[in-house]
């Protein structure tokens, strides 16, 4: 069996990199997805980052950047008509995924199994794994009140400043055996260009995850989410400011623990501001060719560091 390439992902940047890596390594790809954003709504179990990755890998992502391509929203419209508050929009087929996942979990399936079944049903050749089968929930304090992550981002409009971030459920969390096996046998590990604080850090906070990453023989490289010194998408700036890290490649690396975890960084900065090996490339993934190019460069870099 071929040694897998493991991508840690959460959010659009990580999902795009995963899609590019699928073109490069095919079924050898394993994506470990952030589940700190998960939420139970409308009777379904919503897993935004695992589903985002899955829909990208299945080539079913909608042009708006989330959800299934061409989905309709009749159920949400119906709920509004009945007087329900609908602050989290789910397409009809997207909701079907979440309802099925909730049923499988109620039947006793692990989250790993429920996510894998969705990916298989959509024809995804790679494996999409949650960071933990036990629930871990990201919570954000802003304006002196605590909010679940999705409520903060959507219902509260991400109005800051961010005062604190916490992860509930860590005491009962652990990487699933499939994640530990993938990391132990990996030929390369790539931290995707996702928000370091709210997309990648929840993965690293899972007890045992960092130890498993450090124990792997594979080199760990991270791809900076910044392009031309700017955030491509999402609230990376406010969360990095709260965490006390600079908004550049050096800050991204520091947020992951620096050289104690990361062996190299892929970024578009000529001077990354640290002593780690740097692969300087254009990291903007505007189309399929760019996604393949960034993925292939990150993989080659990791393998070169291991040589």
Tens-digit pLDDT profile for residues 164-219: 999 999 999 999 999 999 999 999 999 999 999 999 999 999 999 999 999 999 99
Per-residue pLDDT, averaged over 133-137, amounts to 97
Whether residue 273 is predicted with pLDDT greater than 60 in this model: the reply is no
Q: What distance in Å separates the CA atoms of residue 222 and residue 191, rounded to the nearest whole number?
A: 4
Whether residue 232 is predicted with pLDDT greater than 60 in this model: the reply is yes
Per-residue model confidence (pLDDT) at position 192? 97
Domains of the chain and CATH, by start: 5-60+112-306 (3.40.50.10680)
Tens-digit pLDDT profile for residues 99-109: 999 999 999 99
Residues in the chain: 307
Q: 270 with 290: CB under 8 angstroms?
A: no
Three-class HEC string of the chain: CCCCEEEEECHHHHHHHHHHHHHHHHHHEEEEECCCCCEEECCEEECHHHHHHHHHHCCCECCCCCCECCCCCHHHHHHHHCCCCCCCCCCHHHHHHHHHHHHHHHCCCCHHHHHHHHHHHCCCCCEEEECCCCCCEEEEEECCEEEEHHHHHHHCCCCCCEEEEEEECHHHCCCCHHHHHHHHHCCEEEECCCCHHHHHHHHHHCCCHHHHHHHCCCCEEEECCEECCEECCCCHHHHHHHHCCCCCHHHHHHHCCHHHCCCEEEECCCCCCCCCCEEECCCCCCCHHHHHHHHHHHHHHHHHHHC
Per-residue model confidence (pLDDT) at position 231? 80
Model confidence band, residue 131 (pLDDT cutoffs 50, 70, 90): very high
Per-residue model confidence (pLDDT) at position 2? 83
Per-residue model confidence (pLDDT) at position 236? 87
- Among 9-13, 27-31, 172-176, 234-238, which is the least confidently predicted range? 234-238
Q: What is the pTM of this model?
A: 0.95
Per-residue model confidence (pLDDT) at position 269? 83
For the chain, percent of residues with pLDDT exceeding 70: 98
Model confidence band, residue 45 (pLDDT cutoffs 50, 70, 90): very high
């Amino acid at each position: 069996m071929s040694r897998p390439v493991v991508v840690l992902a959460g959010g659009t940047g990580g999902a795009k990199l995963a899609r590019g890596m699928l073109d490069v390594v095919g079924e050898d790809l394993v994506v470990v997805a952030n589940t700190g954003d998960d939420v139970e709504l409308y009777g379904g179990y919503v897993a935004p980052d695992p589903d985002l990755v899955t829909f990208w890998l299945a080539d079913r992502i909608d042009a708006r950047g989330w959800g299934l391509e061409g989905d309709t929203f009749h159920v949400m419209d119906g709920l509004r008509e009945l007087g329900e508050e609908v602050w989290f929009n789910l397409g009809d087929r997207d909701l079907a995924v979440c309802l099925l996942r909730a049923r499988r979990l109620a039947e006793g399936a692990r989250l790993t199994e429920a996510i894998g079944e969705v990916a298989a049903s959509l024809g995804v050749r790679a494996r999409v794994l949650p960071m933990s089968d036990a629930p871990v929930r990201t919570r954000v304090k802003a304006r002196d009140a605590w909010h679940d992550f999705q409520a903060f981002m959507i219902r509260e409009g991400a109005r800051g400043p961010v005062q604190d971030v916490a992860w509930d459920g860590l005491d009962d969390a652990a990487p699933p055996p499939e994640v530990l096996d993938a990391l132990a046998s990996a030929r390369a590990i790539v931290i995707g260009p996702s928000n370091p604080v709210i997309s990648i850090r929840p993965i690293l906070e899972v007890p045992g995850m960092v130890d498993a990453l450090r124990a792997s023989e594979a080199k760990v490289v991270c791809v900076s989410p910044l392009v031309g010194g700017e955030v491509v998408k999402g609230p990376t700036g406010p969360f990095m400011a709260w965490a006390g890290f600079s908004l550049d490649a050096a800050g991204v690396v520091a947020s992951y623990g620096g050289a104690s975890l990361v062996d190299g960084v892929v970024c578009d900065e000529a001077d990354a501001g640290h002593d780690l090996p740097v692969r300087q490339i254009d990291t903007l993934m505007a189309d399929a060719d760019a996604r393949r190019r960034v993925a292939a460069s990150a993989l080659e870099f990791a393998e070169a560091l291991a040589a």
